Structure 1
Amino acid sequence: MSGNALVAERPLAGTAGNASTPVADGLAVLGRHLQRIKAAPGVLILTQTMPITMLLFFGYVFGSALAVPGQEYRAFLVPGLLAATAANGIMTGMFQSAQDCHRGVMDRFRTLPMSRSAVPFGQTAADLLTTAVGMIPLILAGLAVGWRIEGGPAAALGAFGLLLLFRFATAWVGCWLGLLIRSEEAAGQLGSATFILPLLSSAYIPTGNLPGWLRTLAEWNPISAVAAATRDLFGNAAPAADAAWPVSHPVAGSLLWSAALLALAVPLSVRRYARGGE
């Protein structure tokens, strides 16, 4: 029997009797997902090492060919990769929830006396915790290649908080999509397609020289706002005054994008989970 199956069959604490509460149920599911990652860490390792690979590839292969006015390219790239990592919550959330649907784990959860919001919340909370830890290697790699946090400690903590908030929001979007798709194979294929989202943003390149329509599309991409806010809070670059509103006011834009995604995805995920395969 596979590690995932063993984890899925373990009873969840806090789901029996009248002592169950939404918070206790959510923490129990969170623990289940952490056990799942421990038993099968392959996806986590892949998603956490990919940004470092891209840092080395873009930073050293393309870095000399990409000009960023007034800034060294690798210093521009690291905050963008952190924003792209936050956006990857769509891929991981979609794959995990689709995998659980495909293997019947969600159906088993629905038979337990537990809150309907506990299962998606436990999944997204576990993703948030693993992302917070998984960003450390990328940050260390960025420091090793010359990136520096040039803002104050409070602003830097604000940048990390903003990144984790956006990751939490995108994980809920992915959770809803996975519950909607319900196919492990289809989720894997669609998740690979989400790789294009950071490419259509300012995560890797400045948007100032893009054609008009493409620049508009990139600057209204939520990842661009998060990347710009991260650069601003880390003290790496000031927001572009002539950009679209979410990029010229990146902190406010990132907060609004995250709130909008959560307001949309949380109720949709809970409702879809409660409906099952209907």
Structure 2
Amino acid sequence: MTVQTLRHGWVLTLRDLKRWQREPWTPIIGIAFSLMLLLTFGYLFGGAIDLPGGGGYLPYLLPGMFTLTMLFGVESTMGAITDDTKRGITDRLRSMPIAGVAVPLGRAAADLMNSAVQLAVLMAGGLVVGWQVDGSIGAALLAAGLLLWLRLAMLWVGIYLGLVLRGEGGLMAVQILVWPFGFLSNIFVAPETMPGWLGFLAGWNPVSATAAACRGLFGNPTGTTGGVLADHAVALALGWPALLLAVFVPLSARAYRNLTR
């Protein structure tokens, strides 16, 4: 990736950020929705679920909710890409002498900045309701980095889907499928409490890897007493997003170059 491509991507990043300045309700509603989920699941299920290995449910839940919010980057970014295509903005950008990957790169960078703010607000909300970070500052920063690393991968998945599935039906299908993918993980309950085959699938969900790694780094209950999530959570939390990026960044660049009305 050349310096010129990065420069073009940064200009487009500023364009997307300025759009949020004019229309701030989109990121605000996203943050409010995540806070609502956090409070709903935290207070409704807080005293009703026992964890393998012991520990309170609220400190187990919060890192999972942070991870779930990062997963939602798929549908929000896909919606933005679809909207730009319908309004003809993407066609105007494609007519300019800029690198093909610069446009999706600018979108990903802007969405990642928005995600960092959203994550900070969620963590502050978690501290207000009683969540605690019992790990070191360095470990907590690494956990935040892993969350944003997952978000970056999900953004590129959303960019690709927004370029190839531009109809309303495609966006609706992704919005529906994100929830089962998020629930089939360790976000709300430990995979060890699930039937064997279901627990296996949940354990190998990329979302589960990030959630388990963050719980350990934050010093919160992990809900695991053995297995791959107990032994290699950080490695998986690094590896899964890297694999997704290796697949979807070039796919997104090619889909953008081949885009037709």
Aligned to 1:49: 32
Q: C-alpha displacement at 1:145, in angstroms?
A: 1.4
Q: SS of 2:48's equivalent? A: coil
Is residue 2:24 matched to residue 1:36?
A: no
Report the RMSD for the aligned CA atoms in angstroms: 1.7
Separation of aligned partners in 2, 1:127 and 1:83: 16
> What TM-score comes out, normalization by structure 1 length?
0.88
Aligned to 1:136: 120
Q: C-alpha displacement at 1:42, in angstroms?
A: 3.0
Aligned to 1:12: none
C-alpha contact (below 8 Å) 1:98/1:182 kept by paired residues: yes
Aligned to 1:100: 84
Is residue 2:163 matched to residue 1:212?
A: no
Instruction: Work out which of the residue numbers 63, 69, 89 in structure 2 matches 1:79.
Output: 63
C-alpha contact (below 8 Å) 2:60/2:222 kept by paired residues: no
1:171-198 residue CA offsets vs partner (Å, 9 max, x unmatched): 0000000000122x23541342112222
Q: C-alpha displacement at 1:239, in angstroms?
A: 7.4
- 167-176 or 66-75, which moves further after superposition? 66-75
Separation of aligned partners in 2, 1:73 and 1:103: 45
C-alpha contact (below 8 Å) 1:176/1:268 kept by paired residues: yes
- The higher-RCO structure (CA 8 Å, 6+ apart) is 2
Note closer, same or farther for the CA distance 1:204–1:238 as it changes in structure 2 (3 Å cut): closer
Is residue 2:175 matched to residue 1:189?
A: no
C-alpha contact (below 8 Å) 1:172/1:269 kept by paired residues: yes
1:54-105 residue CA offsets vs partner (Å, 9 max, x unmatched): 1111111122222224211111111001111111111112111111112211
Q: C-alpha displacement at 1:241, in angstroms?
A: 4.8
1:199-250 residue CA offsets vs partner (Å, 9 max, x unmatched): 111011111110111111111110000000000111113573533x356311
Q: Percent identity?
A: 39
Aligned to 2:135: 151
Matches within 5 A, 1:115-264: 115-183=99-167, 185-193=168-176, 194-238=178-222, 240-243=224-227, 245-246=228-229, 248-264=231-247
| Contiguous gaps of at least 5 residues in structure 1 | 1-19
C-alpha contact (below 8 Å) 1:176/1:265 kept by paired residues: yes
C-alpha contact (below 8 Å) 1:92/1:174 kept by paired residues: yes
* Structure (1 or 2) with the greater helix fraction: 2
Instruction: Work out which of the residue numbers 30, 35, 41 in structure 2 matches 1:58.
Output: 41
Q: SS of 1:204's equivalent? A: coil
Q: SS of 1:223's equivalent? A: helix
Q: SS of 2:108's equivalent? A: helix
Q: SS of 2:191's equivalent? A: coil
Separation of aligned partners in 2, 1:52 and 1:151: 23
| Contiguous gaps of at least 5 residues in structure 2 | none
1:131-183 residue CA offsets vs partner (Å, 9 max, x unmatched): 10111221111111111010001101100111111101110000000000122
Q: C-alpha displacement at 1:47, in angstroms?
A: 2.0
Instruction: Give the letter for the 1:263 counterpart.
Output: A
